[in-house]
Structure 1
Amino acid sequence: MARSQFRMTVLVKPKKGMSYEEFFDYWENMHAPLFSSMAIAKRNLRKYEQFNIDPEMTGVVRNKWGVGMGPVPPFAGIAQFEADTPEKILEIFDDEEYIKNVAPDGVNFVDRSAIQVVAGYYVTIFET
């Protein structure tokens, strides 16, 4: 199997006092358009996705798989950035527009102290 596109995955938690619903609404309707409007994001990324975690369904699945013991991870969402190379993604976070406009917006909805980041290559096993 060949490696496919490079992806950076960011696990995010709402800032203190913000419900999941408020978090999802802000993230999708305020932050995503701000991020997506940047020329460098349009130029460098193949895909930007948001994954909204459903705590109730996560509990159901964890119980079904026999991993229901222990707390459900505190994350509310996962952002995925896909590009041809790691450098294409990293360039975005050094961009002046990102630094000036997008990064500061994170304080409006994200607990920055709880962010987790992983990066690597996807391997597609099958696709229909």
Structure 2
Amino acid sequence: MTNDESPSRPVTAQLLLSAKHKPEALAEALQDWLDTLSPTASTGISGGVLSTRIPSAEIDGFARERGWAAAPDVLLQLHFESLHAARQLIAELPETFHTEDSSRRSVMFSNELVQLEDLPERWADGTNTVKMIVTNHPKAGMTLGDFFDHWKNVHGPLVALHGPAMGYRRYAQHYPVSDPVLDRITTDRAWHTPPIGGITEVWWTSYPDMVEGLASESGQEASREMAKDEVNFVGAEHLTAFLATEKRWGA
């Protein structure tokens, strides 16, 4: 699903950033930068979500058990009315944000596919939802086409089936949108290659609900079922995962 898109079609830019020190300080720097922007027709930005890593023995352990790699600290998702507008803003990104380890920065354009949706209160006042963010990579020898087909048509429905036993309330897949302009920007600035297998997001109603779901007997059995399928298509040594809280920006 790494297809070229018309410059006039909507797209989401995914910025994966890492902090030298505290993730909260990097998130504050990003928020300050966002406050200089305006989600309007003139900028082509329709809104976004800022997700900041929080400590989690459960998710860090979840990743270690699967042999996954070290994760970033912040995910900034900006929604654009057109690919052209996304290109323009990414080209104008600051070289580094306060406390950022810019050598680990990566950016991708994507389209979203939601496979599980049971979180209508996500943005309601007083909610404390948390989410796991996973960056994906196909296993060695697997084509991207086969990877995306398996992710969408086999693993996605499997997660939708077993995820609720682990407390999952929302599950979304973000498929990369290939773009030669972004490739040139990434190469010129020596940014990291973005996750070629896209990004996964999983939501829980709250941290306690996540802990309860993952620790339950049914949740652990569900996790084992999903792990059995992961070895069929993912390159675990390249995957990353972190737990985050999210803050909506703009519309």
TM-score by length of 1: 0.77
5+ residue gaps, structure 2 = 1-124
Q: Indicate the structure (1 or 2) with the bigger Cα radius of gyration.
A: 2
More relative contact order in 1 or in 2 (CA 8 Å, sep 6+)? 1
The runs of at least 4 consecutive aligned structure 1 residues that moved more than 6 Å come to none
Q: Choose from 170, 185, 188 the match for 1:47.
A: 170
Question: In angstroms, what is the RMSD of aligned CA positions?
Answer: 2.7
Whole-angstrom CA distance in 1 between matches of 2:214 and 2:153: 21
Residue equivalent to 2:112 = none
Residue equivalent to 1:68 = 187
SS at 2:129's partner residue?
A: strand
Structure 1 position 14 matched with structure 2 position 133: no
Cα deviation, residue 34, structure 1? 1.1
Within 5 Å, give how 1:69-88 maps onto structure 2.
69=188, 70=190, 72-88=193-209
SS at 2:142's partner residue?
A: coil
Task: Evaluate the alpha carbon distance shift between residue 60 and residue 45 of structure 1 in structure 2; reply closer, same or farther with a 3 A threshold.
Answer: same
Whole-angstrom CA distance in 2 between matches of 1:87 and 1:18: 37
Within 5 Å, give how 1:79-118 maps onto structure 2.
79-94=200-215, 95-118=219-242
Task: Evaluate the alpha carbon distance shift between residue 8 and residue 52 of structure 1 in structure 2; reply closer, same or farther with a 3 A threshold.
Answer: same
Whole-angstrom CA distance in 1 between matches of 2:169 and 2:229: 23
Count how many residue pairs are aligned between Structure 1 and Structure 2. 122
TM-score by length of 2: 0.42
Task: Evaluate the alpha carbon distance shift between residue 99 and residue 119 of structure 1 in structure 2; reply closer, same or farther with a 3 A threshold.
Answer: closer
SS at 1:68's partner residue?
A: helix
Task: Evaluate the alpha carbon distance shift between residue 68 and residue 90 of structure 1 in structure 2; reply closer, same or farther with a 3 A threshold.
Answer: farther
Cα deviation, residue 73, structure 1? 2.7
Percent pairwise identity? 25
* Structure ranking higher in helix proportion: 1
Q: Choose from 145, 151, 159 the match for 1:27.
A: 151
Moved more, 98-107 or 68-77: 68-77
Residue equivalent to 2:113 = none
One-letter code of the match for 2:193?
V
Whole-angstrom CA distance in 2 between matches of 1:103 and 1:90: 18
